[in-house]
Structure 1
Amino acid sequence: MREQALQEASEGQLKDQLYEMLKLAIVSCELPPGTELSEGYLAARYSVGKAPVRHALSRLGQDGWVRSIPRSGHIVAPVTIEDIVDIFAMRKLVEPESAARAAGNVPEAKLRRLNKICGAPYRVTDIAAKRRFLLANHDFHVTIAQACGSPRLARSVEKLHDESLRVLYLSASERELAEDWSHGHGPMIAALVAGDRAAAYQTTLDGIHRSQDRVMAVFASAPELITERYRLRSASVSR
């Protein structure tokens, strides 16, 4: 269905849609970190010409999602422990502030709906259920940021959660996280709905700390999940 939609799009729409599809495939680890990519493989996968693939890869490279390898092609940007620590450090700087500014202005019904999805148990082997959980968690936090009144701050939070989503996807492949996440969202929703800026700030910061502790614990017990070594066989994806 996605490929058919691409075929029916105009040239400009085609480039934008292909970029968004590739970005989602990377963020959700459908294309895992370290995966080798070629223009031919992507053109065949999405039934498009190589020109829109080059355009999408160029944008993805500018945004840090792929890396160009001279005389070889591209790879999906790896994830390292240093990347994970930096992502959480940046989230601690900007996300509590966005939550404080959003207090009293959040769409409560949407947050509770997304939180319900976040609380639904899933099996680590159930790719579709895990994807629903992780995307709902991403949308939960982005929805809060979008109510903060600062488009610039909201964009920063969304970019960090795009990066965080890849990390969470890798850790969720090892351990079921839904119950932890949904319980942590409850105090945040209460503070946001009540318009309590200080509590919204603190509960958001506390949640980031908990998330970091759990994620780091997963990678400490399963270091093979971190990518310079986490890659698909190049023959299966790049040819």
Structure 2
Amino acid sequence: MFDPASPFIGKTDPLQPVQKTSFAEDRLKVAVQSCELLPGSIATEAQISERFGLGRAAVRVALARLSAMGLVHPIRRSGWKVLPVTGALIGDVIAARRQVEPCLAEARPDAVALSRMEELAEMIEVLEGQRDSASLTTRRGYERELLDILSNAVGNRLMAHFLVGLWDHSERIMRFLETPALPPFAACQARALTQAVAAGDGARIVALRMSDITTFQEYAFAGLMRDRTELGVPLDAHDASSNNGQPRPDGGATPGTKITGEPGIKSNNGVSS
């Protein structure tokens, strides 16, 4: 019987097709969330494949999955468009988080998970206030890990899955609105949250999450007030308003441009971020 793991078979490619697709999806998701692929930008599968060194087939499947997450959508005869960041999107994300995050009151992590939360809270406190890129990236990774531990301990898996998607959108919005004129987005109340979880205090958990959502809302509002992006009717409005016949939340209301490699430049005629 053929054994693909046999040591006598040459290892020309260490990744199987499924692994390639998973790697491509993870890489492109990070690119979208970090605004490496700018909101509103448009690129073909060939351009994305070349830019990130990924196979065309894996890129095609990965983009389809990101489309299902609401992060990108296809534009007829143009390629794939990264979902623009708009005031409406920000408002929808905030409203949805206020509706869904109370489910975290039911989170009951086991002893191992709770111990990890305590470690993460300590490291977040150490990194809070540091503004260099490496420290910010590390701190935010710890914050997200802490929240993921909470979501994994929620009994209602559908709610938890939806919440993870909202956190993904929130991270992308925060990254997009960050400018030198604004201080970095504040750290979550990791220590207090961990203590509330350990005590099984659902009301305290919800209060802390609502407070963090309010902080995010204020940060987003401040960022929008400093944004000089021009609003107008895009050329691709008709195509952007649909996704295989399904209405899009942005309705194609933000103009897109072809993808570029220039960092810090908004894609919709805006100023440098």
TM-score range (shorter-chain normalised) is 0.7 to 0.9
| 88-97 vs 52-61, which moves further | 52-61
Q: Which one of the candidate residues 168, 183, 191 is aligned to 1:186?
A: 191
Q: 1:145-184 counterparts in 2 under 5 A?
A: 145-174=151-180, 175-177=182-184, 180-182=186-188, 184=189
The Cα offsets for residues 71-95 of structure 1, whole Å up to 9 and x where unpaired, read as 1111211111110111011111111
SS of the residue 2:187 aligns to: helix
Letter in 1 for 2:206: Y
Q: Check 1:37–1:185 CA distance in 2 against 1; reply closer, same or farther (3 A cut).
A: same
- What is residue 201 of structure 1 aligned with on the other side? 206
- 1:57 and 2:63 are equivalent in the alignment: yes
- What is residue 76 of structure 1 aligned with on the other side? 82
- What is residue 42 of structure 2 aligned with on the other side? 36
Structure 2 Cα separation of the partners of residues 152 and 31 of structure 1: 28
What is the TM-score normalised by the length of structure 1? 0.80
Deviation at 1:104, TM superposition (A): 6.9
The Cα offsets for residues 11-47 of structure 1, whole Å up to 9 and x where unpaired, read as 1211122112111111122222122222222222333
Q: Decide which structure has the larger Cα Rg and report it.
A: 2
- What is residue 4 of structure 1 aligned with on the other side? none
RMSD: 2.8
Structure 1 Cα separation of the partners of residues 96 and 85 of structure 2: 16
Structure 2 Cα separation of the partners of residues 9 and 53 of structure 1: 15
The Cα offsets for residues 179-216 of structure 1, whole Å up to 9 and x where unpaired, read as x324x333322221211122212222222122212222
- What is residue 212 of structure 1 aligned with on the other side? 217
The answer (yes or no) to whether the contact 1:34–1:228 under 8 Å persists in 2 is yes
Q: Which one of the candidate residues 20, 24, 33 is aligned to 2:30?
A: 24
Structure 2 Cα separation of the partners of residues 168 and 50 of structure 1: 30
Q: 1:84-95 counterparts in 2 under 5 A?
A: 84-95=90-101
The answer (yes or no) to whether the contact 1:78–1:228 under 8 Å persists in 2 is yes
Structure 2 Cα separation of the partners of residues 235 and 30 of structure 1: 10
The answer (yes or no) to whether the contact 1:134–1:169 under 8 Å persists in 2 is no
Q: How many residues align?
A: 225
Q: Which one of the candidate residues 6, 10, 21 is aligned to 1:15?
A: 21
What is the TM-score normalised by the length of structure 2? 0.71
SS of the residue 2:81 aligns to: strand
- What is residue 239 of structure 2 aligned with on the other side? none
Letter in 1 for 2:184: L
SS of the residue 1:75 aligns to: strand
Structure 1 Cα separation of the partners of residues 123 and 219 of structure 2: 20
Letter in 2 for 1:200: I
Q: Check 1:235–1:45 CA distance in 2 against 1; reply closer, same or farther (3 A cut).
A: closer
Deviation at 1:59, TM superposition (A): 2.0
The Cα offsets for residues 87-131 of structure 1, whole Å up to 9 and x where unpaired, read as 011111111222x101575733322333344441343xx444333
Letter in 2 for 1:84: I
Letter in 2 for 1:148: V
SS of the residue 1:176 aligns to: coil
Structure 1 Cα separation of the partners of residues 121 and 31 of structure 2: 23
Structure 1 Cα separation of the partners of residues 76 and 209 of structure 2: 42
